[in-house]
Structure 1
Amino acid sequence: MSARGAASPKPAALTRRQRSVLAAVQELGFVTIDGLAREFEVSSQTIRRDIIKLQQANYLHRFHGGAGLTDGTFRPGYAQKLTTAPAGKERIGRAVAEMIPDGASVYLDVGTTVEAVARALLSKMTLRIITCSVSVAMIFCSHGKFDVFVTGGSVRGANGSLVGGVTTESLKMFRVDYAVIGFGGFDDDGAPMDFDLEKIAVRQVALAHSRHGIAVADASKFGKAGVARVAPLSAFHALVTDNEPPKPLRRLFDTAGVRCVVA
């Protein structure tokens, strides 16, 4: 049974439009039914049915005339993330830094947990950094220690995430030793999940062009799900977190041969 309950639809059951509605709520915090109806060129009743379905799946909360974020399901805004488990994220960052040797090439994803990894990597002597995060790049640029390559692409969100075809094509030029990937929750089989399909596409390319995939997530992600899968567990060599996962989730990691590091 799904952790969201038997009545909740699987993410794969959502239509393209419903996924786009989720992305809009995630980006804006609140959307109106009339505005969505105009954007997707459908009736208000059609959008209302979409929102009702998404609310039943606990992806968002329906309000009069629109929909907004619901606590515990959607990822919080970037400013809120900065205050979520900061000590745990710093421990995760140090643990990942211990796994990466001097001289390695490293892809760093977006997000506050990955930013903690970036700060911890400043202790290294030499690294080659590839990132799609403006925020991550600035951490390194302010110290001038490493070679840093920032992908092109369209800027998405307050954390300076770069997405789109330019981003994915840029990543295909590289073959990195380690890819450090953030995410927002877990599927029933333990696979990492997230909400933004464009960011997921970037992560998938990065994993495909890396020798070792390292997933990073603080304990607030346990028991949560996303809209779509980032990759199967088999795509990762390790998951680094700040607290012991629930036993069912830990068993999934063990079965998949994924090393679980509790920082």
Structure 2
Amino acid sequence: MSKQNRHQLILDLVQAKGNVQVSELAARIGVSEMTIRRDLEALEQVGALTRVHGGAAAPPSRSYEPAYHARRLQRVDEKERIGRAAAELIHDGETVIIDAGTTTIEVAKALRGRRNLRVLALSLRIADLLADEPGLTVMIPGGITRPGERSIIGAMTQRAFTDLYFDTVVLSAGGVDPEAGVTEYIPEDAAVKQAAAASARRKIVVTDSTKIGTIAFARVCGVEQLDTVVTDTNVDSALAHAIAERGPEVVTV
């Protein structure tokens, strides 16, 4: 088993149980306890979990956002599929906002080689990824960059949308819940997403299935304000149905 797959299994077990012992992880995954301890140390360094005596625990609260580099290790295949599917919904000639995130960057990757797109990137990573694409015009708003995340936030970022009208916004999310709506861990992130969504005719959320049913700290919007939610086939069918009943199309890939 590759290290990436092993890390994913560890994170899945920690997320599901909240607190898991090294011995249980070693038995479930089929490796030595020494290997598990090294894995836990590596995952703690990127903020994916917290080591406790004899094992590991999940982050404690709705206001805790796992680090970008930790999220990048999770659901890699699913995020790539979601990114490609969302990119297929965007047509040449559109004006598009692409939010920061580990799933939205997969959308950006899938847009490389496209023609006549104007893209406003809310992430320095995405702006850099697309900057040299000859068929794209890349815009970056003013604002403050978040270290590690490299997203762009703040009042200046929000004001950038005042006089602009986009065809589509592609949003990431800390959680998508039928009742609570789209939520984020950081209020400043949520405020930028709200401004971006208000300036776009069509609203697409891209998120892996672990975020469906999750409620983070700060509300962005209700699911009834969305046009499409793109997620993976592991999504809970009852939750997907409950979201679809409120209006948006739920696309699973």
Superposition TM-score tier, normalisation by shorter sequence: 0.7 to 0.9
Mark the CA change 1:187 to 1:98 in structure 2 (over 3 Å): closer, same or farther: closer
Give the 4+ runs in structure 1 shifted more than 6 A.
none
For 2:87, the equivalent position in structure 1 comes to: 97
For 1:160, which of 141, 147, 150 is the aligned residue? 150
**TM-score for both structures, normalised by structure 1:** 0.71
Counterpart mapping for 1:45-60 below 5 A: none
* Matched position secondary structure for 2:152: strand
Query: What does residue 70 of structure 1 align with?
Result: 59
Q: Secondary structure at the match of 1:112?
A: coil
Q: For residue 114 of structure 2, what is the amino acid of its counterpart?
A: K
| Mapped pair 1:191 → 2:181 | yes
Aligned position for 1:36:
none
In structure 2, the partner of 1:139 is: 129
Among 220, 223, 233, the alignment partner of 1:233 is 223
State percent identity of aligned pairs.
Answer: 31
Alignment equivalent of 1:201, drawn from 187, 191, 199:
191
Distance 1:161 1:153 in 2: 9
Q: What is the CA–CA distance in structure 1 between the aligned matches of 2:214 and 2:246, rounded to whole Å?
A: 20
What is the correspondence of 1:78-89 to structure 2 with a 5 Å cutoff?
78-89=68-79
RMSD of equivalent CA atoms = 2.4
SS at match of 2:188: helix
Maintained 8 Å contact 1:193/1:227? yes
Tell me which residue corresponds to 2:171: 181
Q: Which amino acid aligns with 1:209?
A: S
Q: TM-score, normalised by structure 2?
A: 0.73
Q: Which residue of 2 aligns with 1:112?
A: 102
Q: Is the 8 A contact 2:145 2:152 kept in 1?
A: yes
Amino acid across the alignment from 2:69: A
Contact between 1:203 and 1:230, CA under 8 Å: does it hold in 2? yes
User: How much has 1:142 moved relative to structure 2?
Assistant: 3.6
Q: 2:251 & 2:172 partners in 1: Cα distance? A: 15
Cα–Cα, structure 1 residues 239 and 75, in superposed 2: closer, same or farther, change >3 Å? Answer: same
Q: Deviations over 1:214-235 (max 9, x none)?
A: 0010112134220121101122
Deviations 1:76-108 (A, max 9, x none): 211111111111111111101111111100000
User: 1:181-225: per-residue Cα shift (whole Å, max 9, x none)?
Assistant: 000113451511111100100000111110000001011213422
